[in-house]
Amino acid sequence: MTKATILTGITTTGTPHLGNYVGAIRPAIAASKDPNVSPFYFLADYHALIKCHEPERVRQSSLEIAATWLALGLDTSNAVFYRQSDVPEIMELTWMLTCVTAKGLMNRAHAYKAAVAENEEGGEKDPDKGVTMGLFSYPILMAADILMFNAHKVPVGKDQIQHIEMARDIAGRFNHLYGEHFVLPEAVIDDNAATLAGLDGRKMSKSYNNTIPLFEPEKKLRKLINKIKTNSQEPGEPKDPETCTLFSIYRAFATPSEVAQIRQRYADGIGWGEMKQILFEYINQQVAPARDRYEALMQAPEHIEQQLREGAEKAREISVPFIKELRQAVGISRISA
């Protein structure tokens, strides 16, 4: 049996937070231990340049994300863990794909359409104001990430489904022109993956600036949890767990029986101060061992670098011969030996 290749990328523009952890990192790390799949996980640093022109931030984020995944026990003997920019064949493939991608397809990309809509609503004369070619053609770079390793399955958030469909379109077009080189990838949406609310009750997201970093030191973690917005109900009043941010976070970490107990405490009128204390203690004890490893790794960046280089070597065992085949297919080759 050939193993299914699963692949996903993490854009290196932020610090991993609790929402990233439960929604993406935790399931990916669990999958890295499954001997029946062949996982590819990478730091999407070229993607970072699309929205972030701060070199220090991109560098720091790459370090933090790599340290996080390693500290959480990513199995790098099974998973290929690499930095996109260490695999230059991806960029080369991006151009080959760019040349078979209809501009009209890119016109329909959500991220681009949202930027145009915002300009129009703001009364801008130029609907493309602030839109770089990077943003416009970003789905092609993402298609190259996926097709380079002929991934079968791509675990992503709902906002990325369209990009996977575009990757399929682009792969189909290339295959039609040049022969069957690419697998058509499928998006995998994990309906069980929790979506966490953030400090202000909206979805936890770096764009809302309401996140709780996963490996925040203990004192700061306590402070942030104390800042989570709650309603003004008093201790003793029965409370609704379903609309409570504290509960949504607790539930993403605790076992079903622990969750059932806390649900009862809500019915019995637990006070917000006490619930915040319980939540802090719970998360803190859960993340503490990985946080220690994270801090040690952050002090030893050469160890992280080494892991990423080994990952890139494994990735290039595939990408180097494959790009050679693709060059041949499109007619780019030496005239004589």
Site residues for ligand TRP per CB under 6 A = 7-9, 11, 44, 47, 142, 145-146, 154, 156, 160
Shortest CB 40 distance to ligand TRP, Å: 9
Report the helix count and the strand count for the chain, using DSSP H and E. 15, 5
Task: Give the list of residues 6+ apart from residue 99 with CB closer than 8 angstroms, or none.
Answer: none
Q: Contact, 187 vs 151, CB < 8 A?
A: no
Closest chain position to ligand TRP (CB): 9
Minimum distance, C-beta of residue 142 to ligand TRP, in the bound complex (Å): 4
Q: Rounded to an integer, what distance in angstroms lies between the CA atom of residue 307 and that of residue 205? A: 28
- CB contact at 8 A, 217 and 279: no
Give the ranges where 179-330 is alpha helix by DSSP (H): 218-227, 245-253, 256-267, 272-298, 301-330
Cβ nearer to ligand TRP, comparing 154 with 297: 154
Q: Which is nearer to ligand TRP, 146 or 278 (CB)?
A: 146
Helical ranges in 99-194 per DSSP H? 103-107, 110-121, 133-136, 138-147, 161-178
Residues 6 or more apart whose CB falls under 8 angstroms from that of 214 comprise: 16, 17, 18, 20, 21, 25, 68, 287
The least CB distance from residue 106 to ligand TRP, in Å, is 15
Nearer to ligand TRP, 23 or 241 (CB): 23
Q: How far is the CB of 109 from ligand TRP (least distance, A)?
A: 11
* 163 vs 251 by CB, closer to ligand TRP: 163
Please name every residue paired with 11 in a beta bridge, in sequence order, or none if there are none. Answer: 44
Closest distance to ligand TRP from the beta carbon of 24 (Å): 8
In whole angstroms, the minimum distance from the beta carbon of 8 to ligand TRP comes to 4
Helix (H, G, I), strand (E, B) or coil at 32: helix
Q: Name the minimum Å distance from CB 154 to ligand TRP.
A: 5
Our CB check for ligand TRP shows the closer of 112 and 247 to be: 112
Give backbone dihedrals phi and psi of 319, rounded to 5 degrees, phi first: -70, -35
- Element containing residue 188 per DSSP (H, E): strand 186-188
Q: At closest approach, how far in Å is the CB of 63 from ligand TRP?
A: 18
Q: Where does residue 95 rank: exposed (0-12), middle (13-18), buried (19+ CB within 10 A)?
A: exposed
Give the C-alpha distances (Å, rounded to integers) separating 3 from 42, 189, 314.
19, 19, 16
The CB-of-37 to ligand TRP minimum distance in angstroms stands at 15
Round to whole Å and give the CA distance between 293 and 296: 5
Measured from the CB atom, is 44 or 308 closer to ligand TRP?
44
Cβ closest to ligand TRP, residue 138 vs residue 280: 138
If the CB atoms of residues 140 and 304 are measured against ligand TRP, the closer one turns out to be 140
Lookup: tokens for 59: 């560098």
**Residue (6 or 249) nearer to ligand TRP, CB:** 6
